[in-house]
Structure 1
Amino acid sequence: MTVLLLLIMDYRFTGNAFHEIGGVVLFLLFIFHNVLNRRWYKVFFKGRQILSRVLMTLVNLLLVVTMVTVFVTGALISATVFAPLDIRSRSLFVHDLHQGAAFASFILIAIHLGMHWKMLMAKLKNWLHIDASSLGWVLMSRIISIVVIIYGIYASFTNDIGEKLLMQRVFMGWGEEPSLWRFLLDYFAIVGSYVGITHFLLGLLRKVKNGNFTTQTMLHKKAANPK
């Protein structure tokens, strides 16, 4: 889904027809993904609501809202797929809302991946038979992560991601012709930066939590066994 979203982020590269068809396919894949993971909704209010779980729930719910917004606004401004329904809106606000929701979905998908990155990397290492404890792998993964995060942050500013999220910039499609390879490099780096930062912050949160748990356990033991 992430790759397809990248392909349709700027229709100047693909044309409007592919942009709209790709958007419909993306939304169907999103629905299919949620159907496959419907168990998450069944246990929504069950179990202990720890901070990491609350954050993941918030991201997932926001992602559902933004994806539905992208699809609805996309249908309202459609010039191809939904054109026969004669529901097209000429409002610039609807265009800007479509763009803002699309970029919000883009960022939320990256954060969602970051929250599951440990599990995804474990599967990848097992599939490729990578020794995760080797010094070479550790150094290479750390260097690549740092480079991607730094460049992704830089690309976020040079591509005005903040303005697009806040709908402070008119609908994409006007201005100078962009470079496809620069676009792909920048946006893959932006995804990678959010994945990396999310993964790092969750790891830090777990360490703080485990540290507090260890400290509390030691205090309980001392209180139970005073010298």
Structure 2
Amino acid sequence: MIRNILNIVMTVLLLLIMDYRFTGNAFHEIGGVVFALLFVFHNVLNRRWYEVFFKGRQSLRRVLTTLVNLFLVVTMVTVFVTGALISVTVFAPLDMRSENLFMHDMHQGAAFVSFILIAIHLGMHWEILMSKLKNWLHIDVSSLGWVFMSRIISSVVIIYGIYASFTNDIGEKLLMQRVFMGWGEEPSLWGFLLDHFAIVGSYVGITHILLGLLRRVKDTNPK
């Protein structure tokens, strides 16, 4: 259970440090270091995944999970390394700061790729998370009210998240086409959090739906 809580905490922390205009650079860098430590801790907790990496049957679901996890590790390491190289606070005493703007672009691009991959990672484990939540809240998942409400909320989050992805130029940021010095007008904190929570929710929801469809296809065409 601690792994699932850690996933959510890391997602929230990532949202808080994604735009340092709201928190200042010092909090951004310190939060980044905390996030890096949590990420290492998360991987230590999941070390068995690495131990059985090449063992067992490689189903499509397992292959997809492996690819997402590996890409996430690569992008997070990129974020940490580039963050250290452009640091003006935490790592400044080490005197290794790079003035190369491409390093800023890479840091931002890798951060947004990690942001999306974390959402997909959550989507792949959403059934487990929701099962725990339903047990805690004693929700009757078979009730018509719950089914209707959950589907309405999911649809709204996914639709708004897709819209927010375009209005926040997520595609350009993923492709490293937006440098830090050209971010435009400063958005409101609540608007930023709403948009990016919705973006996370949309990728979680879409991943969950696609995996559900994949499972149905597999059940319909067993081999």
Name the TM-score class by shorter chain.
over 0.9
Matched, 1:29 2:38: yes
Distance in 1 between residues matched to 2:152 and 2:192, nearest whole Å: 23
The reply to whether residue 55 of structure 1 matches residue 64 of structure 2 is yes
Deviation string, structure 1 residues 82-131 (Cα, Å, up to 9, x no partner): 00000000000000000000000000000000000011100110111111
1:134 corresponds, among 129, 139, 143, to 143
* Residue 191 (structure 1) aligned with residue 192 (structure 2): no
TM-score, normalised with respect to structure 2: 0.94
Find the aligned partners of 1:72 and 1:38 in 2 and give their Cα distance.
22
2:172 matched residue in structure 1: 163
**Partner letter of residue 112 of structure 1?**
H
SS at match of 1:11: coil
Aligned to 2:132, which of 123, 130, 148?
123
TM (norm. structure 1) is 0.93
Name 2:91's counterpart in structure 1. 82
**TM-superposition CA deviations, 1:146-200 (whole Å, max 9, x none):** 0000000000000000000000111267421211110000000000000000000
**Secondary structure, in 3 states, of the residue corresponding to 1:71?**
helix
Q: Note the residue ranges of structure 1 that are not aligned, 5 or more in a row.
A: 217-227
Extract unaligned runs of 5+ from structure 2: 1-9
8 Å contact kept, 1:11–1:173: no
State whether structure 2 residue 159 is matched by structure 1 residue 150.
yes
Q: Secondary structure at the match of 1:107?
A: helix
Highest CA radius of gyration, 1 or 2? 1
Q: 1:17 aligns with which of 19, 26, 33?
A: 26
Equivalent pairs, count: 214
Aligned partners of 1:128, 1:194: CA distance in 2, in Å?
Answer: 24
